[in-house]
Structure 1
């Protein structure tokens, strides 16, 4: 039995509903590899299939599995205005005949009308999602509590709600999707030196690292900070990995010493386009014809470039970057991305 099969067997202990189209491909970036002097590959999780794809599909397989296990008819979730997570949750709910309630938080200051009307906002409206507003952008506990308050009102109406939590103190069910994703990559590529992934909530980064390590793969994994500085993010990752280890029943020491985060592309903040982000986004588009989103993947690629400049990634190494999708958000950033 392969390590991947053993991981799959462990994951069958958790309720899960299949939302992925198929195993996502790994694709070599030939021109970018020549340009950067590394052997660069993308793990194409922008091609997960559901509702413009993206990494959240993997996570939602386990959240919706648990929701259906609890016989829920309504799912509540919170995120930024242009959140890919809430858009994909609305699509999953539609596919499964459930109602979705999306709480949109004010995380990104100074945005124009397109940010509030286009991209993921428009798609969620087409999907028929119900919407709530949360005026604070950096209060995960408050945002989760607001969802629970609304869930209580729904129960009083006879509905059966399920809350997908944002806060780090809850079991990271979504990370299970990336345990499977990391194992999937280990099966696809037996040898590579470095993986570069976005690091926000910690579910994708933590699950991916865990999946590789449980598969026996020792590649260095760098999480590129998209929301917090590296001191805050490292502390968050320790919590996420501790809870994931408890959830799956493995020794957290297997992964906790391998937390590497980098925040050099974070400025000027979450969901905001700095010079590094814009340069990375345009470089990938103009070199490989592949779009990156301004919130996660462009910052991730900017991080990869920064790690290469610093020598943390060395010339000639084989590097895999996780492309987490999120492309509808591009249209919400039209004002910032139009040529000046």
Structure 2
């Protein structure tokens, strides 16, 4: 797998740590749980979108872009990190916020919404669920060109084949770290949303001939739809890499943690966020990593993850959004 042929900006020095979670493992009464700390990636507040942006922003710079345009939900980690990358590179940034839950966006909100203002988004527009986001980005791009600028649009979550290369690189990182640590994992648990992280890991592991199963926990869509999205993007990412495509059977998605919908709280997510904070001092977020950890906890408790397994959990970040969910998580 030759990633060196793709232009890349480096926003993180070295590998993110893999750490044991012994107190969580003990609290669950089995399964040896470890965590890959992608919440410690570079840019403002860290998180998985940083890996994708290393490739996406490099492509924008190669085109001579002076303005990044992207989309996300209220409290979007992707929008926060795209804006941070723009600031790092001296670029402008325009955000389109899709209000997936009616009434969920407030310009006075804390968390990531406050950071959109602090880091100086050039513009921020709110659109309702169901809006054609590609068309909205095209409208923004036309406005930038009309003003003499050079726009570059980045899809939601950075989830296209180029962005997914960031998690093919992460797969190589995990394989290398496992070798250096002299240990192997029986399962890799990841949040599955816009699909770029999940698909990139699958494409990378397949390219490396790794047999590490990837257990995706959906945060938005039903299992059948999400498995199709992940497989389609994993195949396209493998084609970009020039490596074998993952089989459809390799795509595993658990949709039991979606609850009432994207970003909407569940009791299991609240328990997971509180448990990690109190057992290990690790901060999960309420939208992605909290629901993914809830999926891991449920799978250990009901026996889908054997208590003898060594499990690696991908921490995708998101802690900067926690203040917006304080009332939900307080008790």
TM-score range normalised by the length of the shorter chain: over 0.9
Task: Tell me, yes or no, if structure 1 residue 156 matches structure 2 residue 146.
Answer: yes
What corresponds to 1:82 in structure 2?
A: 75
Q: Give, in whole Å, the separation in 2 of the partners of 1:53 and 1:166.
A: 17
What corresponds to 2:174 in structure 1?
A: 185
SS in structure 2 of the partner of residue 212 of structure 1? helix
Deviations 1:61-115 (A, max 9, x none): 01101000101000000001100001001111101010011111101345485x8
Q: Give, in whole Å, the separation in 2 of the partners of 1:79 and 1:154.
A: 19
Task: Tell me, yes or no, if structure 1 residue 13 matches structure 2 residue 5.
Answer: yes
Task: Tell me, yes or no, if structure 1 residue 94 matches structure 2 residue 87.
Answer: yes
Task: Tell me, yes or no, if structure 1 residue 131 matches structure 2 residue 123.
Answer: yes
Please show how residues 98-247 of structure 1 align to structure 2 within 5 Å. 98-109=91-102, 111=104, 117-139=109-131, 142-166=132-156, 171-190=160-179, 191-247=184-240
Deviations 1:205-224 (A, max 9, x none): 01112222222321211110
Q: Give, in whole Å, the separation in 1 of the partners of 2:126 and 2:113.
A: 15
Q: For structure 1, which runs of at least 5 residues remain unmatched after alignment?
A: 1-6
1:276 pairs with 240, 253, 268, which one?
268
- TM-score by length of structure 1 reads 0.91
Residues 269 and 294, structure 2, Cα contact 8 Å, conserved in 1: yes
SS in structure 1 of the partner of residue 296 of structure 2? helix
SS in structure 2 of the partner of residue 306 of structure 1? helix
Q: For structure 2, which runs of at least 5 residues remain unmatched after alignment?
A: none
Deviation at 1:284, TM superposition (A): 1.1
Residues 47 and 318, structure 2, Cα contact 8 Å, conserved in 1: yes
Residues 90 and 129, structure 1, Cα contact 8 Å, conserved in 2: yes
Deviations 1:239-291 (A, max 9, x none): 11121122112232x34320000011110110111111111111111111111
Deviations 1:18-38 (A, max 9, x none): 112331000000111222211
Task: Tell me, yes or no, if structure 1 residue 55 matches structure 2 residue 48.
Answer: yes
SS in structure 2 of the partner of residue 52 of structure 1? coil
- TM-score by length of structure 2 reads 0.94
Q: Give, in whole Å, the separation in 2 of the partners of 1:242 and 1:20.
A: 27
Q: Give, in whole Å, the separation in 2 of the partners of 1:211 and 1:220.
A: 12
What corresponds to 2:26 in structure 1?
A: 34
Deviation at 1:116, TM superposition (A): 5.0
Q: Give, in whole Å, the separation in 1 of the partners of 2:105 and 2:136.
A: 26
Q: Give, in whole Å, the separation in 2 of the partners of 1:137 and 1:167.
A: 16
